[in-house]
Amino acid sequence: MNPADLVAITNLEHAVLCMRPAEAIVQQHFRQIQEELLTRSSNLKEKNFTAISSSDLDLLFCAYDEHFLARLCKSALGARALRFRLSRKMTRVGGSTRRSIDHDGAECYEIAIAIDMLFSCFRENDRRITVCGVQCENRLEGLQRIFEHEVVHLIEMLCWRDSDCAAPRFQNISARLFLHRAHTHALVTQTERAAQAGIGVGSHVTFIFEGRRKTGCVNRITKHATVLSGGSRRQALFGRLAI
């Protein structure tokens, strides 16, 4: 690592360990970021948005880096790539951040957001939603809280190589910078949605398999309810039940 990168990382480390913005300033930054995203994004036109792309996460990162971190995070990345991904496979966590080595040997980072979980929340008559211990009124607020959590993971990886959201350092940074009160979320999972419909693991249900009506037992709930039907393991048929 060259000296300039080391200086940039040291600057970021010092900033996140010392920053303590007033709550009014933090709330002002939150509102500014919302307004910028709703204005600049070609997908997000309302707070309970119904479409999003990975480029919106790029806009979000730039806004957070500018308003909260004086662009120190981007500077600490240096030449290393930061990629953004919308995940439809994550069904229990709101997001993830990882460091990897690219095909050319270069270090790179990725922030992924569990977008299906966001789209499954904030429906009419839904229960109260909290993310990072903060009540969220709409999808945009939920996205912001998840993204803030992942930004702290990124900061820790850049400065200290490892990151643990259950550890004191992580929770101290996220509380001071973003007013988080917890490191977990209470988004509505597909398991909860299924339970609301009276479906759980072990439930007997009817489903369509290759155009024919089948009866089976729910053996797993992720994005869909996976149903097992058949007299033996070898003869078993699997179907998916939309929730």
Are both 161 and 215 inside the same structural domain? no
Q: At what angle do helices 139-160 and 54-69 cross, to 10 degrees?
A: 70
Are both 163 and 223 inside the same structural domain? no
Are both 119 and 70 inside the same structural domain? yes
The 10s digit of each residue's pLDDT in 40-74 is: 999 999 999 999 999 999 999 999 999 999 999 99
The DSSP bridge partners found for residue 81 are 108
Are both 118 and 44 inside the same structural domain? yes
Are both 156 and 56 inside the same structural domain? yes
Q: Which of residues 143, 161, 188 is at a domain's end?
A: 188
Q: Which domain holds residue 206?
A: 191-241
Residue 181 has pLDDT above 70, yes or no: yes
Q: Which distant-in-sequence residues (6+ apart) come within 8 Å of 173 by Cβ?
A: 16, 17, 152, 155, 156
Are both 27 and 139 inside the same structural domain? yes
Q: Which of residues 188, 214, 229 is at a domain's end?
A: 188
pTM of the model: 0.81
DSSP notation for 26-83: HHHHHHHHHHHHHHH-SS--STT-S---HHHHHHHHHHHHHHHHTTHHHHHHTTSEEE
Are both 132 and 36 inside the same structural domain? yes
The predicted structure's pLDDT at residue 134 = 96
Q: Which distant-in-sequence residues (6+ apart) come within 8 Å of 26 by Cβ?
A: 177, 178, 179
The 10s digit of each residue's pLDDT in 213-225 is: 667 666 655 555 5
Are both 107 and 20 inside the same structural domain? yes
Are both 79 and 124 inside the same structural domain? yes
Are both 135 and 237 inside the same structural domain? no
List the one residue out of 86, 236, 70 whose CA is nearest residue 147.
86
Range 110-124 average pLDDT: 91
Are both 176 and 207 inside the same structural domain? no
Q: Which of residues 188, 206, 221 is at a domain's end?
A: 188
Are both 48 and 96 inside the same structural domain? yes
Number of domains forming the structure of the chain: 2
